Chain A
Amino acid sequence: MAVGKEIRTKIKSVKSTQKITKAMEMVAASKLRRTQQRMEASRPYAEHIRAVVGHLSQANPDYRHPYLEKREVKRVGYIIITTDRGLCGSLNVNEFRAILADLRKWREQGVEADLCIIGAKGVAFFRRLNTNIVAATTHVGEVPRVADLIGAIAAMTEAYTKGQIDRLFLVHNVFVNTMTQRPEIRTLLPVEPVDADSLQKYWDYIYEPSAEELLDTVLNRYIESQVYRAAVENVACEMAAKMVAMKAATENAGKFIDQLQLAYNKARQAAITQEIAEIVGGASAISQ
């Protein structure tokens, strides 16, 4: 019986899609746990170096590092962390929307922006727009390493030191919980003073060997650690968003299959009824 051949083929294809989304969901779930651990592990360093930099911004050295100086904003820079792969719901889209709103705000003030993009999705998106991409890194992978990020970071910090940009922002997704991730735009440079914890008023470090060299090391390390932490967090967000998106896709596929099955059954029943009606009609025609 050739009834509903197309429907049957369709059901089969949706079922195989469902298998794939289910598998992707499970893969994302298991990766999520590991990336979450990595995110947690990177937290202590990022927090402590933040505290050190906070102390540093309260110290009174003779030498002022450019990272600590506030300048009038003529041009801004963004380090944007996105995912390399799609199928993770609205994670990237929400982030892009936040960035575009921010860019528009700057443009109204006559301030242009330089972008440094980490992640293939961001590169693909911003290339289509009329934006100025100065650096890009893709395929950092699920285990970001500082070494892979340094090039992109250095491009932006150099631009800041040279005065090409007067402010540097970091954009990434913040992991609130498995269901919720939200984009965040944070100022990286100039380094904002962290709220004071009871240190006395006028003091300075003893610097070994020199203030200049050490401030440079510490502040660069600080930027690196913040970007690294953001990259790790973004991976965790990606996995969580992917897990949720794939779970929804699997459920939708299930619903779709149910509907198709119903349509198939109806069509089959209609065909049977019609056949019986024909037989009955034929038989009654003969017996008359």
Chain B
Amino acid sequence: MAIHVDIVSAEGAIWSGKANMVFAPAREGEVGIAPRHAPLLTDLRPGEVRVQPAEGEERELFFYVTGGILEIQPHLVTVLADSALRAEDLDEAAALEARERARKALEGRAGEVDIEQAQRELVEAEARYRAAQKLKGKRAG
């Protein structure tokens, strides 16, 4: 028993295949999706989507998404990401830099920065950094 997973972003198809289990950062907390899950519709926070493929590689796959929509049907999971990256493409240094920039923008408040925007950027940068670090730990281990 496996569930079909499609991960797409506005820039193209990211991954598609069968999986035993999928984890995604839903609005109300991380969700784990096994086959025959009840239909669910929710939106995604910035974070990582993890996929345990059904066949071939047993290694878990990581994808970084900046937000989007998650649709679940009993036989199907669709991740409509605003922007998605394979974790392999994540650049830890760039993520760290983006986080610093966002934090500075929040602290500095002087230049009439859009605070909501800055906060959103910070959340996104942090999620990106966490995902990059997790991946790094995995490689080292």
Interface check B92, CB cutoff 8 A = no
Of residues 15 through 52 on chain A, the ones whose CB sits less than 8 Å from some CB of chain B are 40-42, 44-45, 48-49, 51-52
Do the beta carbons of A146 and B71 come within 8 Å of each other? no
A49 CB contacts on chain B under 8 angstroms = 69, 80
A45 CB contacts on chain B under 8 angstroms = 8-10, 12-13, 80
Do the beta carbons of A209 and B69 come within 8 Å of each other? no
B26 and chain A: residue at smallest CB distance: A208
Interface check A63, CB cutoff 8 A = no
B69 and chain A: residue at smallest CB distance: A218
Interface check A221, CB cutoff 8 A = yes
Of residues 55 through 72 on chain B, the ones whose CB sits less than 8 Å from some CB of chain A are 69, 71
Report the count of interface residues on A (CB-CB < 8 A): 27
Do the beta carbons of B26 and A205 come within 8 Å of each other? no
A288 CB contacts on chain B under 8 angstroms = none
21 chain-A/chain-B pairs, Cβ below 8 angstroms: A41-B11, A41-B12, A42-B11, A45-B9, A45-B13, A52-B69, A52-B71, A52-B78, A52-B80, A55-B71, A55-B73, A59-B39, A199-B73, A204-B39, A206-B41, A207-B40, A207-B41, A208-B27, A208-B28, A209-B42, A218-B69
- A207 CA / B38 CA spacing, docked (Å): 11
Do the beta carbons of B78 and A51 come within 8 Å of each other? yes
Do the beta carbons of B41 and A214 come within 8 Å of each other? yes
Measured between C-beta atoms, what is the minimum distance from A231 to chain B in Å?
A: 12
Of residues 75 through 112 on chain B, the ones whose CB sits less than 8 Å from some CB of chain A are 78, 80
- A221 CA / B41 CA spacing, docked (Å): 14
Measured between C-beta atoms, what is the minimum distance from B35 to chain A in Å?
A: 16
The interface size bin for chain B is 20 to 34
Beyond A52-B69, A203-B39, A207-B41, 10 additional pairs, beta carbon < 8 A:
A42-B10, A48-B78, A48-B80, A49-B80, A51-B78, A52-B71, A146-B10, A206-B39, A206-B41, A209-B27
Which are the 4 A-B pairs with shortest beta-carbon distances? A44-B13, A41-B12, A208-B42, A205-B41
Main secondary structure of the interface of A (DSSP, over half): helix
- A51 CA / B79 CA spacing, docked (Å): 12
Of residues 84 through 115 on chain A, the ones whose CB sits less than 8 Å from some CB of chain B are none
Of residues 205 through 253 on chain A, the ones whose CB sits less than 8 Å from some CB of chain B are 205-209, 214, 217-218, 221, 225, 228
Do the beta carbons of A217 and B78 come within 8 Å of each other? no
Do the beta carbons of A44 and B41 come within 8 Å of each other? no
Q: Which interface residue of B11, B41, B69 has the most chain A CB atoms within 10 A?
A: B41
- A44 CA / B9 CA spacing, docked (Å): 8
Partner of A217, one of B10, B11, B69, B73: B69
- A208 CA / B8 CA spacing, docked (Å): 21
Do the beta carbons of B10 and A228 come within 8 Å of each other? yes
A228 and chain B: residue at smallest CB distance: B10
Measured between C-beta atoms, what is the minimum distance from A240 to chain B in Å?
A: 21
A41 CB contacts on chain B under 8 angstroms = 11-12
Of residues 56 through 103 on chain A, the ones whose CB sits less than 8 Å from some CB of chain B are 56, 59
- A48 CA / B12 CA spacing, docked (Å): 11
Do the beta carbons of B40 and A208 come within 8 Å of each other? yes
